[in-house]
Amino acid sequence: MKISAKISLWYVSLTLLIMMLFSTALYMGMRVVLYQALDDDLAIFANTIQESYNPFIGEFEELLFHLESANRYKELWLVVYDARGRAIYASPMTQYIPLKIPVPEEAPQEGYTITVNMKKGLPWLQANEKGQVTFRAITRRMAYNKRPIGFIQAALPIQNIQSELDSLLKLILIANVLAVLLVGGSGYFLTRRVLSPVRTIARKARQISETSMDERLPVVNKDDEIGQLSQTLNNLLERLQKAFRAQQEFISDITHELKTPLSMMRTHWEAEINNPQLSDETKERILTDVEAISRLNRLLNDLSLLSKTEERQNWQLEPLDAREIVESVIAELKPVFELRGQKLHSHFEATATVNGDRDKLYQVFFNLLENASSHSGTGSSIYITTRRHGEWWTATVEDDGPGIPEEDQPHIFKRFYRVQKDRSRKSGGSGLGLAIVKGIVNAHNGRISVDNGDHGGARFRVELPVHAAK
C-alpha cells in the first residue's frame, strides 16, 4: 500500500473515531436534555397541584381548574392521592393504560422509565412494533409544614422524544458519512500534493544510471524534510559518481598499461616461432603462449570498450536507419556463416529511424549475431527479425543451439558471466560481450531481454525508441 493511501486511511480512521465520540456525546447529551425537559413538565404539574392545597379546609382548591388545563395534554397519565391514600383525581389516560408506579416513601421526587403493553390502540399514542409504549414517570409525596397531605404520580409517553432522537441519529449518521467522504477525499488529495515531490524524486532517481550519473535530483525547498532528503541523495550520487569515475579511470589506465607489454611479448614470441634452432615442442609451447596473449588482448579490448560505453566517450549521436545497420552487420558476418555452414534467415517487417551512435549499435548486432553463430554449431540456422510497434523498433536474434537455462537467464548480461565456462574459454570468450551489448542498449534508452525461442535456442530481443522527427 502506498504511503499516501496509508496516511489517508489513518486520517480517515482518526476522524471517524473523533466523529463517533462527538456524535455519541451529542446523542447522549440531547437524550439527557430531552428527558430532563420531560421531567420538568411533569414536575410543573406536581408543583401546581401541591401549591393549590388549602390547609384550613384540608383540600386542594381549584384542583379541577388546574387539571382541566392539564387535560389538554391527552397523553398525560396523572393520579392525585390524598393523605389517606385515596385517589381524588385520575386523568382519562389512566383508564386506557395502567401504570404500576411505586409509591414514594419520602418527600423527594423520583423518576422512572416504564414500558407497558398497549392493549387498545389510541389515535394520539403510537406503539412500537412490539405493541409497547414507554413512559417517563415521576412520583412525589406532598407535605404542608412537614405534614403529609398526599402524593402524586404522573407520566408522559416518550414517543415524541424518541422520534426526535431517531431523527437526530439519522442526521448524525448522514453527517458522519459525508464527513468521512469529505475528509477522506480531501486528505488523500492533500497527501498526494504533499508527497508529490517524493514521487518526483523517485521518478528522477530511476532515470539516473551509470550513463547519466552527472544528473541530480531537484531540490524544491532545502529547508524542509523533502529538500534535505534530496540534498542527501545528491551528495550520495556525487560520491558514487566519483567512485564510478575512479573505477573507469583505473580500468582505462590498467588496460593501456598492459597492452604495450603484451604486444611486445606477442611480437617477440611470434618472431621466435621462426627460429630454426628451437625444437617443435618448444614452438608448440610458444604457440600456446601466443594464444593466451591474444585472449588477454581481446579481454583488454573488451574492458576498454566497456569502459568507453559506460562513459559515452566519443559518441556520435545522429538519426540512423536501424535496418541498414543490421544489414551491414549481416554482410560482414556472411563469410563466417558460410565457413561454418550456417544459414541465416532474415525477415525485416519494418525499418525505423533511431537516434544513436552507428559504431556502438553496429557493435550490438555484431556481438549478438556472432554470439548466435558461435553457440549454435556447424550446419545450424540463425534467425533475425525486425519490426516496429508504436514508438519502439524491435530486433530479435535467435538460434537453434542448446539455449540458455532459465536459472542463468537473469545473470546473462553480467560481466564475466558464462553459461558454459569451459567452452567459453576454449572459444576465446571473455564474458563481457553481452555486458557491452546491454550497456550500449541502455545508453540508447532501449531495452534488451533474453529467453529461449521457438527453435530451442537462445532468443535476444533488442528494443530501441524510434527517433521523433522535429
pLDDT in tens, 94-133: 888 888 888 776 655 667 888 888 766 677 677 777 778 8
CA pair distance 110, 104, nearest whole angstrom:
7
DSSP code for 85: S
CA pair distance 316, 436, nearest whole angstrom:
17
- pLDDT reading at 69 higher than 60: no
Beta bridge partners of 448: 462
Percent of the chain with pLDDT over 90: 10
Torsion of CA 331, 332, 334, 337, to 10 degrees: -150
| Average pLDDT rounded to a whole number, residues 177-204 | 80
CA pair distance 41, 35, nearest whole angstrom:
10
Question: Is the Cβ–Cβ distance between 445 and 460 less than 8 Å?
Answer: no
Percent of the chain with pLDDT over 70: 82
Lowest mean pLDDT among 85-89, 296-300, 380-384, 424-428: 424-428
Better pLDDT: 51 or 450: 450
CA pair distance 155, 77, nearest whole angstrom:
5
Q: What is the pLDDT of residue 145?
A: 82
Q: What's the distance, CA 177 to chain centroid?
A: 25
Q: What is the pLDDT of residue 328?
A: 92
E strand or H helix at 213, and its extent? none
DSSP code for 370: H
Q: What is the pLDDT of residue 463?
A: 93
- pLDDT reading at 400 higher than 90: no
- pLDDT reading at 429 higher than 90: no
- pLDDT reading at 461 higher than 90: yes
Cα–Cα nearest to 464, from 410, 395, 397: 395
Q: What is the pLDDT of residue 425?
A: 46
Q: What is the pLDDT of residue 301?
A: 67
Position 25 confidence tier, pLDDT thresholds 50, 70, 90: very high
Task: Please tell me the class of the 317-465 domain.
Answer: alpha beta
- pLDDT reading at 299 higher than 70: no
Kindly state the cell numbers that stand for 17: 473515531
Lowest mean pLDDT among 115-119, 344-348, 355-359: 115-119
For 36, 241, 258, the CA distances from 246, given in Å and listed in that order, are 85, 8, 18
CA pair distance 445, 462, nearest whole angstrom:
11
Half-sphere exposure of 393 (CA within 13 A, CB side): 23
| CB-based contacts of 157, cutoff 8 Å, min separation 6 | 75, 125, 133, 134, 135, 136
In 3-state terms, what secondary structure has residue 340? coil
pLDDT averaged over the chain? Answer: 79
Better pLDDT: 380 or 129: 380
- pLDDT reading at 423 higher than 50: no
CB atoms within 10 A of CB 338: 11
CA pair distance 15, 179, nearest whole angstrom:
8
CA pair distance 436, 111, nearest whole angstrom:
92
Q: What is the pLDDT of residue 403?
A: 83
Lowest mean pLDDT among 96-110, 206-220, 270-284, 316-330: 206-220
Query: How is domain 3-173 classified at the CATH fold level?
Result: Beta-Lactamase (3.30.450)
Cα–Cα nearest to 403, from 457, 439, 441, 442: 457
Measured between its terminal Cα atoms, the distance across the chain in Å is 41
CA pair distance 321, 62, nearest whole angstrom:
115
In 3-state terms, what secondary structure has residue 84? coil
Q: What is the pLDDT of residue 462?
A: 93
DSSP code for 408: T
- pLDDT reading at 314 higher than 70: no
